[in-house]
Structure 1
Amino acid sequence: TSTMIQFSWKPQGGTRDSPYRVHLWGGSREMKRSLNETSTAFENLLSDHEYQISVDVSTCSKNISTSLTVRTAADIFNGTTRITNEVFNPEYKNKSSTAFKDFETKFIKEIEKHLPQKILELIKGKKMRIVINSIENGSVIVDFDIVLDAGENITKTEISDAFTEALNMSTVLTADLKKTVIEARNSCQPGLNGCSQHATCAAEGASYSCQCNNGFTDSSPEVPGRVCQQKQNLPSQQMTTVLPKSATVRFTGSTGNSIFTTTFASEPCMPVSIKVQNVTGEAIQFSWTGGRRGSLYNISLMDGNREIKKTTTKEKKTVFKHLIPGHVYTVSVAVLFCAENSWTSVSVRTDPVSCFNRTEFCLQQNTGCPDLKYIICSHYQTFAGSVLLKSQTFNDMLYNSDSEGYKTMSESIKTEVVREMRIKLKDDHFDIIILGFRPGSVIADFISLLQKQEPIDVNVMQEYLSQVLKSKFGDQTEVTVQCK
């Protein structure tokens, strides 16, 4: 229904080592149960809300899991109005801001004050709610949804007339009725319906229907188009220790009170693909692709063998902040309900530039940039440098020190520089360490290490490095060196 998801699952062979663990997750709502039975129901849910449900169990010391995404039923009406006696506040752009929440409370309270008794009873009974989607400039333009439990006996005209009149009667908000529209929402827009990704959505008033595309079989014909499986004879998976190899699940469809049954199997866990988008001295921003529609993801940040941050999200991007400059971290992502718990990881060093700007870097009381301090302060003479390679083009793989692109670029620079600089300096122990790459075209940060006790002037070092790198990457190459 609009407020309940009821489902059951069917074990197929094997001996389980633990009770079934049933998990429902949606937004800030999370419910977990440990059961010996093979059915349950979650109640008091929000209408028109997308929930992820899973069933997992341990068998022969392995964790087997299967999951599905379900949207609860609702009829949705979308409203837009212009409030002329309010001044737009830029903080309205942020739905988490105090300004947005204060306006939302005032707007909803003022509308409810003038609604007819029939609609007020629906709101008080939690069968209808008002949700503000956005507040835009001009004076203040409010986009909102009226979310109604499916099956309630009220028409679009009644709702439109009631809310328009409530805005007209308000003494706190002055609404421009010529700019006020309330109509059935087109729920076939992406992310607003429960149709399978292999189904076609058709808007039907304030609701919608789904139909599986050609080439796909409908596994939930009572409420069509929610689970569409490709028509092909795939070899069955041999899972001799699996208990819930498949699960039979009953959900209330999002077009009414029909109950549909569908069977879904535990799919192989496909690893996600991580794209590092930006790296600063104190933050790593990244996104990822992979997983099924509606999947939840575990995100981990490791410092060596120590996990320092972990979170679960439905989003496909995040930022880890408050990091140490010039430090190597491992970022990992995995699909939450993946039976194999298959993680994808990248190793990223935060921008080291701020480390080199520190005065008296090797003093004991200077505790910043510990990775680089150990390297720099343990050699006779160290130069921190960067080279701008205008002939090269940056791509996000150069953030990941485990990638082939990073290794190839790093080796290309190091091999040429070390060979030529050892000749110029007459020092067979000269070496460089590539710390990482930054965009614009490609900027490589590095450390030059000398073990000869005779000091080398920083200007001489810069001149030698410039000669070597320009011969390799072209005359537009720019080198900057400073002694540490």
Structure 2
Amino acid sequence: TSTRIQFSWKPQGGTRDSPYRVHLWGGSRELKRSLNETSTAFENLLSDHEYQISVDVSTCSKNVSTSLTVRTAAEVFNGTTRITNEVFIPEYQNKSSPAFKDFETNFIKEIEKHLPQKILELIKQKKLRIVINSIKNGSVIVLFNIVLDIGENITKHEISDAFIEALNMSTVLKADLKKTVIEARNSCQPGLNDCSQHATCTVEGATYSCQCNKGFTDNSPQVPGRVCQQKQNLPSQQMTTVPPKSATPAFTGSTANSIFTTTFASAPCMPMSIKVQNVTGEAIEISWTGGRRGSLYTVSLMDGNQEINKTTTKETKTVFKHLLPGHVYTISVAVLSCAKNSWASVTVRTDPVSCFSRNEFCLSQNTGCPDLKYIVCSHYQAFACRVLLKSQTFNHTLYNSDSEGYKSMSESIRTEVVREMRIKLKDDHFDIIMLGFRPGSVIAYFISLLQNQERIDVNVMQAHLSQILRTKFGDQTEVTVQCK
């Protein structure tokens, strides 16, 4: 229905494992249940909203899971109007901005003042709602949806007439009625329905229907066209009966009340792979692959042994912001239903450059970059070094200090620099600490540490390091050294 999903499942092969972990997620709403039964219902849901449902169970020492996407039913009307007494501001382009949210609240409140009682009752009962999709320039053009639960006794013309009249009666919003339109939404556009990719979507007024294409079997006949499986016309002698004890665990799921009926097979948890896309002094951007279409992912950000951020998402990328510069973080991702045994992790240090641009780095009142401050300020002399390796090509594994690529390049630089610098400086305690690599071709950052009591001039350090690194990586190598 528009507000309820009832769901049941069973293992294929005749066995039943328990307990089952059931998870529903959609937008800001997240529900988890642990059940011995093989059915459950989620209620008080939003109409015309896409929800992810997953069911998983541990069986035969393996975690078996399945998931699918369900869109609750609704009649949806698109609305467009031009408000002539409002001035467009850039903040309206961001739906998360306070300006957008304030406008949306005021717009909806003003319209509701002038709607007929029949529609106000539907709003009060949460069977109808108004959602602003975007605000555009010219004076202010508002694109919004009117979302109505299925089965309510109200026509398209009643909806259209009521909202246009409400805009006309408003003394706060000066609506250009020539630029005001209320019409049934074409829900067969991509992203606005849950038809199978092997089904045909047909517009039916303000809603839609789906039908499996020729050559596909409909596994959700109560609500057609959601799960379409390709027909296989195999000769009968090629069919094999699998004994129950060796049957692959799988679930048959269905939703009652004409929501969904489907059969879907489970698969073992797939390995995850994380790619670090970009790193700055205060942010780390990552993406990942693994799982199946519609999977839910758990993403964790660790600072040492402390988890400072944990989210659940159906996206396959995220950005962690407001981080400390020059600080090491560990990011882990897993498919939600497999989270106990399928984490993939990367260890990344945010850019240290801003740390070394600070004056009087070691003063007690300078509280930034605590990791590097401890390293730098506990040695007699420390130099922040930046090396541009024009002969090398950057790849994204160099962001991750746990990767083989990072370890190999770090060891290559460290071995050469430490050996040669100890000879040149006659300091057996000279050492370097690698801080990371960045693109362009490859930029390496490290700290040179000296415990020799004789102070070394920064120009001498730069000359020595330039000679060593150019010998190893080519004459185009550029070295920059700062004394800290």
Report the TM-score when normalising by structure 1: 0.85
The aligned counterpart of 2:164 is 164
Q: Secondary structure at the match of 2:119?
A: helix
Deviates more, 1:335-344 or 1:59-68: 59-68
- Does the 8 Å contact 1:13/1:241 carry over to 2? no
Deviates more, 1:179-188 or 1:417-426: 417-426
- The aligned runs of 1:2-81 (5 Å cut-off) are 2-11=2-11, 16=17, 19-57=19-57, 64-81=64-81
What amino acid does structure 1 have at the position aligned with 2:280?
Answer: T
- Does the 8 Å contact 1:14/1:59 carry over to 2? no
What amino acid does structure 2 have at the position aligned with 1:89?
Answer: I
In 2 relative to 1, CA 281–237 (structure 1 residues): closer, same or farther, beyond 3 Å?
farther
- The aligned runs of 1:424-439 (5 Å cut-off) are 424-425=424-425, 430-439=430-439
Q: Work out the CA distance in 2 between the residues paired with 1:239 and 1:103.
A: 60
The aligned counterpart of 1:131 is 131
The aligned counterpart of 1:456 is 456
What amino acid does structure 2 have at the position aligned with 1:149?
Answer: D
Residue 251, structure 1, aligned to residue 255, structure 2: yes
What amino acid does structure 2 have at the position aligned with 1:251?
Answer: T
Q: Work out the CA distance in 1 between the residues paired with 2:203 and 2:116.
A: 28
- Does the 8 Å contact 2:52/2:67 carry over to 1? yes
Q: Work out the CA distance in 2 between the residues paired with 1:322 and 1:236.
A: 57
- Does the 8 Å contact 2:254/2:263 carry over to 1? no
- The aligned runs of 1:95-134 (5 Å cut-off) are 95-134=95-134
- The aligned runs of 1:385-424 (5 Å cut-off) are 385-418=385-418, 420-422=420-422, 424=424
| 1:226 Cα offset (Å) | 1.4
Structure 2 unmatched runs, 5+: none
| 1:445 Cα offset (Å) | 0.7
Q: Work out the CA distance in 2 between the residues paired with 1:463 and 1:132.
A: 62
1:107-159 Cα offsets, whole Å, 9 max, x none, are 22332333344434433333221111111222111010111222334443333
Fraction of identical pairs, as percent: 83
Q: CA RMSD in A?
A: 3.5
| 1:63 Cα offset (Å) | 5.3
1:417-457 Cα offsets, whole Å, 9 max, x none, are 44554554455664433211223443211122445554332
What amino acid does structure 1 have at the position aligned with 2:385?
Answer: G
- The aligned runs of 1:436-451 (5 Å cut-off) are 436-450=436-450
In 2 relative to 1, CA 341–201 (structure 1 residues): closer, same or farther, beyond 3 Å?
farther
Deviates more, 1:461-470 or 1:205-214: 205-214
Q: Secondary structure at the match of 2:126?
A: coil
Q: Secondary structure at the match of 1:401?
A: coil
In 2 relative to 1, CA 339–443 (structure 1 residues): closer, same or farther, beyond 3 Å?
closer
In 2 relative to 1, CA 452–320 (structure 1 residues): closer, same or farther, beyond 3 Å?
same
| 1:77 Cα offset (Å) | 1.3
- Does the 8 Å contact 2:65/2:267 carry over to 1? no
The aligned counterpart of 2:262 is 262
The aligned counterpart of 2:352 is 352
- Does the 8 Å contact 1:15/1:60 carry over to 2? no
Q: Secondary structure at the match of 2:147?
A: strand
Q: Work out the CA distance in 2 between the residues paired with 1:55 and 1:300.
A: 21
- Does the 8 Å contact 1:335/1:341 carry over to 2? no
- The aligned runs of 1:466-481 (5 Å cut-off) are 466-481=466-481
Q: Secondary structure at the match of 1:319?
A: strand
Structure 1 unmatched runs, 5+: none
Q: Secondary structure at the match of 1:122?
A: helix
- Does the 8 Å contact 2:64/2:268 carry over to 1? no
Q: Secondary structure at the match of 1:468?
A: helix
The aligned counterpart of 2:299 is 299
Q: Work out the CA distance in 2 between the residues paired with 1:238 and 1:181.
A: 61
Q: Work out the CA distance in 2 between the residues paired with 1:326 and 1:236.
A: 60
Q: Secondary structure at the match of 1:10?
A: coil
The aligned counterpart of 1:337 is 337
Q: Work out the CA distance in 2 between the residues paired with 1:434 and 1:211.
A: 59
1:202-252 Cα offsets, whole Å, 9 max, x none, are 44432223344577543213323312345679999999699x933332226
Q: Work out the CA distance in 2 between the residues paired with 1:121 and 1:251.
A: 29
Deviates more, 1:126-135 or 1:426-435: 426-435
The aligned counterpart of 2:195 is 195
What amino acid does structure 2 have at the position aligned with 1:354?
Answer: S
Q: Work out the CA distance in 2 between the residues paired with 1:213 and 1:373.
A: 64
Q: Work out the CA distance in 2 between the residues paired with 1:15 and 1:333.
A: 29
What amino acid does structure 2 have at the position aligned with 1:46?
Answer: L
| 1:104 Cα offset (Å) | 1.6
Q: Work out the CA distance in 2 between the residues paired with 1:169 and 1:425.
A: 85
Q: Work out the CA distance in 1 between the residues paired with 2:354 and 2:427.
A: 29
Q: Secondary structure at the match of 1:337?
A: helix
| Count of residues in Structure 1 that have an aligned counterpart in Structure 2 | 478
Q: Work out the CA distance in 2 between the residues paired with 1:31 and 1:68.
A: 15
In 2 relative to 1, CA 452–35 (structure 1 residues): closer, same or farther, beyond 3 Å?
closer
The aligned counterpart of 2:83 is 83
Deviates more, 1:371-380 or 1:297-306: 371-380
